[in-house]
Chains A and B, each alone.
Chain A
Amino acid sequence: KAGVTQTPRYLIKTRGQQVTLSCSPISGHRSVSWYQQTPGQGLQFLFEYFSETQRNKGNFPGRFSGRQFSNSRSEMNVSTLELGDSALYLCASSLAGTGDETQYFGPGTRLLVL
């Protein structure tokens, strides 16, 4: 079974631009979560989607948004990029609601904001 895939793997943007990151979960997984990893703040939860609905949200400004499609693929959007948005963005999928709580992560997207 294929793992979680994320595109693109690397991205360079300038301040003020917006960016969209994509995540395809493991087949059959309906929950997709997003995390931001930076050297200063560590790993932080952004949001989680299940059946096209946002169920959980972390403590991030409204510039960070996401959505999930009917095939469970998810996108994350960051508008008006700031230098501090430079990070590794990790997506994870899980079989939510089945008793198996394990989240499986993709390879991440490294975003550099100049």
Chain B
Amino acid sequence: AQKITQTQPGMFVQEKEAVTLDCTYDTSDPSYGLFWYKQPSSGEMIFLIYQGSYDQQNATEGRYSLNFQKARKSANLVISASQLGDSAMYFCARNFGNEKLTFGTGTRLTIIP
């Protein structure tokens, strides 16, 4: 099965520190997309950042950046200068060239003031 693995069930980080959330994936396909979503306790999945498998540069969106290491099949999310509002579940996901997303099990991030 084409699996997404997030090995950190929970993380506690001091406010204003940077945090890295890990994500690795299985694939035999040359073309795919990788996504990170944030899910606050309200339940809505909020899109954060996207990386295409052919993109030469790591994606960045404001305080979010994606550390994409294709050979290692790794797509870690880096959040710089964490804020209390960053406390949430974070999911890594990939698609298969269609609209079906496969998600990892998520990491619960808690920012400590």
Contacts and interface: CB of A to CB of B under 8 A. Distances in A.
Interface string B57-98: 000000000000000000000000000000000010101001
Nearest to B99: A48
Interface residues of A, number: 25
Interface residues of B, number: 22
B98 A56 contact: yes
A66 interface: no
A96 interface: yes
A108 B45 CA distance: 9
Contact of A90 (B45, B95, B102): B45
A42 B99 contact: no
Interface in A85-113: 88, 90, 92, 94, 96, 101-108, 110
Interface in B40-55: 42-47, 50, 52
A108 B44 contact: yes
A33 interface: yes
B43 A107 contact: yes
A103 B105 contact: no
B32 to A, nearest CB: 9
A64 interface: no
Interface of A: 31, 33, 35, 42-43, 45, 48, 50, 55-56, 58, 88, 90, 92, 94, 96, 101-108, 110
